[in-house]
Structure 1
Amino acid sequence: MKQLIETIVKPIVDFPDEVHVDVVENTSTITYQLSVNKADMGKVIGKQGRVAKAIRTVVYAAGSSQQKKIFLEIGE
Structure 2
Amino acid sequence: MKVNCPICSKAVVWSTDSEYRPFCSKKCQLIDLGEWAGEERKIATAAEPKTPATPMDIEEIEAMLSQQPDDFFKH
Is the TM value for this pair above 0.5? no
TM-score, normalising length: structure 2: 0.28
In our comparison, the structure showing a higher alpha carbon Rg is 2
Point out the structure with the larger strand share. 1
More helix by share: 1
- What TM-score, normalized to structure 1? 0.27
Higher relative contact order (CA 8 A, sep 6+): 1
